[in-house]
Amino acid sequence: FQIDTTQESYLDLFPLDAIVYLTPDSENVLEDVDPNKVYILGGLVDESIHKKLTLQRAREQSLQTARLPIREYMVKSLNTKSYHCETLAINQVFDVLSTYYETHSWPAALQAGVSSGKGYVLPD
Gap between the Cα atoms of 8 and 114, Å rounded: 31
pLDDT digits (tens, 9 = 90+) for 22-57: 999 999 999 999 999 999 986 655 555 567 888 999
Options 17, 46, 95, 124, the catalytic residue: 46
How many structural domains comprise the chain?
1
What confidence score (pLDDT) does residue 1 get?
A: 66
Q: Is residue 3 part of a domain?
A: no
Does pLDDT of 89 surpass 70? yes
Give domain status of residue 4, yes or no: no
Give Cα separations from 95 to 50, 63, 98 (angstroms): 22, 23, 5
Residue 46 is among the residues annotated as catalytic for this protein: yes
Q: How far is CA 24 from CA 13, 15, 79, in A?
A: 24, 23, 21
Tell me the pLDDT of the chain averaged across its residues: 89
pLDDT-based confidence at residue 107 (cuts at 50, 70, 90): very high
In this structure, is residue 111 part of a structural domain?
Answer: yes
89, 114 contact by CB (below 8 A)? no
Q: What is the pLDDT of residue 108?
A: 97
